[in-house]
């Protein structure tokens, strides 16, 4: 084996050891318990158990949708024949950027990976959620529908990963510690971002992008390392941002897409009736997550400003800044002049071609080839 490949494998095995501890199992290479084997009847006495790595911990998507589906609904739907345990990926000790590789190797048989984590190695997969591309969830659905066939085919053929569902988080918007009337007033402010695309967007507005993990948003704002932060409307509320920021802008800079996928060998090894069940139920789980994301986007804003309609969060007293005509013009101009060209620059000529065959026609926006 090439020394570089050996190094990568050793690193991934170390991550696997941490993940095993998080799951409380002896190993995650197997997709199910010892009582089940490929092709075995699902009527065995012991339930067939899956081990799942889910999305971000502490977020409604995980708490209200993913975890109940795997730990309760799967058993109910199968009359107890199939069961699962799940751990959030950010508590599993595995860097998000390596989840796709772990799925490909089969170290993680079934796992969730944020599409923004593909930025460094596979920037082409981040195309449907570029900063400024989707000003509302209806537009996002159109964008993803145009790109999804390519994404599923690429994951299957290039990585040996079957994309079983695509989830979405609530709108990622700008929270600031000081008054903000339009996005142009981000000039000179240090703004937390989570991706290269968000960094391009903030930089084009004259802001200073600061790449910061989700868990470090509050410490960074509190310490003064950042003055603003891009995060989910409800995520920000759950983090307590209404107590340390004063203004929240309603423009969705991005949304936050995540792929729930399976190692192809692990998927093929499942009992046929379990595959059939998941093929039927996972699209329903996906639809429920999208519907909740839309509700949470609105509810997050309502809670941040302290509106009576706030239902799931903590009522704050923030100023909610609506999208102005100037903001909408800025969004379109920055997408066309900065975000899309820089994505193509990072991604290459092949990516411009893919864009122009998928998202471009759906959105009426062509990408110039990389220079």
Same domain, 231 and 345: yes
Yes or no: say if 190 and 225 are a contact pair by the CB < 8 Å rule: yes
**132, part of any domain:** yes
User: pTM value?
Assistant: 0.86
pLDDT tens profile 154-205:
999 999 999 999 999 999 999 999 999 999 999 999 999 999 999 999 999 9
CA proximity to 147, closest of 115, 184, 107, 187? 115
**309, part of any domain:** yes
pLDDT tens profile 3-51:
444 444 444 444 444 444 344 433 333 433 333 344 444 444 689 999 9
**369, part of any domain:** no
What 3 state SS string does 237-270 have?
HHHCHHHCCCEEECCCCECCEEEEEEEHHHHHHC
Q: Domain range for residue 48?
A: 8-33+43-167+257-297
pLDDT tens profile 32-43:
333 334 444 444
User: What is the total count of domains within the chain?
Assistant: 2
Same domain, 27 and 56: yes
CA proximity to 210, closest of 178, 232, 186, 236? 186
Yes or no: say if 311 and 237 are a contact pair by the CB < 8 Å rule: no
Which of 8-12, 104-108, 169-173, 266-270 comes out lowest in average pLDDT?
8-12
Last residue of one domain, picked from the residues 297, 321, 355: 297
Same domain, 157 and 272: yes
Same domain, 148 and 120: yes
Same domain, 123 and 218: no
Crossing angle of the two packed helices 340-347 and 196-204, in degrees rounded to 10: 140
Q: Mapping DSSP to helix (H, G, I), strand (E, B) and coil, where does residue 34 land?
A: coil
Q: What is the mean pLDDT of residues 243-258?
A: 97
Same domain, 312 and 210: yes
**108, part of any domain:** yes
CATH number for the domain that contains residue 317: 3.40.190.170
Last residue of one domain, picked from the residues 274, 297, 320: 297
How far is the CA of 358 from the CAs of 143, 254, 290, 354, in angstroms? 8, 19, 22, 6
pLDDT of residue 45: 64
Distance CA 48, CA 226 (A): 47
């Amino acid at each position: 084996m090439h020394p570089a490949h050996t190094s990568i494998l050793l690193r991934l095995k170390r991550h696997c050891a941490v993940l095993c501890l998080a799951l409380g199992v002896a190993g995650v290479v197997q997709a199910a318990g010892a009582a089940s084997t490929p092709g075995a009847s699902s009527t065995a006495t012991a339930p067939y158990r899956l081990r799942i790595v889910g999305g971000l911990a502490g977020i409604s998507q995980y708490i209200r949708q993913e975890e109940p589906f795997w730990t309760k609904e799967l058993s109910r739907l199968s009359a107890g024949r199939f069961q699962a345990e799940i751990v959030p990926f950010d508590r599993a000790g595995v860097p998000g950027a390596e989840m796709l590789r772990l799925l490909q190797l089969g170290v993680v048989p079934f796992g969730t990976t944020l599409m923004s984590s593909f930025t460094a190695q596979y920037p082409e997969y981040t195309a449907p959620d570029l900063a400024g591309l989707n000003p509302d969830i209806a537009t996002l659905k159109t964008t993803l529908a145009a790109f999804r066939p390519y994404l599923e085919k690429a994951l299957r053929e290039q990585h040996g990963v079957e994309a079983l569902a695509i989830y979405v988080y609530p709108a990622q918007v700008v929270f600031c510690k000081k008054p903000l009337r339009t996005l142009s007033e981000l000039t000179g402010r240090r703004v937390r971002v989570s991706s290269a695309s968000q960094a391009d967007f903030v930089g084009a507005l004259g802001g200073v992008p600061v790449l910061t993990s989700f868990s470090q948003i509050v410490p960074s704002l509190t310490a003064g390392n950042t003055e603003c932060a891009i995060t989910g409307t409800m995520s920000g509320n759950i983090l307590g941002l209404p107590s340390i920021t004063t203004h929240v802008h309603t423009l969705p800079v991005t949304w936050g897409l995540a792929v729930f996928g399976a190692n192809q060998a692990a998927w093929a090894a499942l009992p046929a009736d379990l595959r059939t069940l998941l093929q039927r139920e996972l699209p329903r789980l996906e639809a429920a997550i999208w519907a909740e994301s839309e509700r949470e986007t609105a509810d997050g804003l309502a809670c941040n400003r302290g509106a009576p309609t706030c239902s799931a969060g903590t009522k704050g007293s923030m100023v909610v800044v609506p999208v102005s005509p100037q903001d909408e013009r800025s969004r379109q101009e920055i997408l066309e002049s900065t975000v899309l060209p820089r994505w193509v620059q990072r991604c290459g000529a092949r990516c411009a071609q893919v864009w122009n065959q998928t998202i471009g026609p759906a959105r009426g926006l062509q990408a110039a080839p990389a220079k």
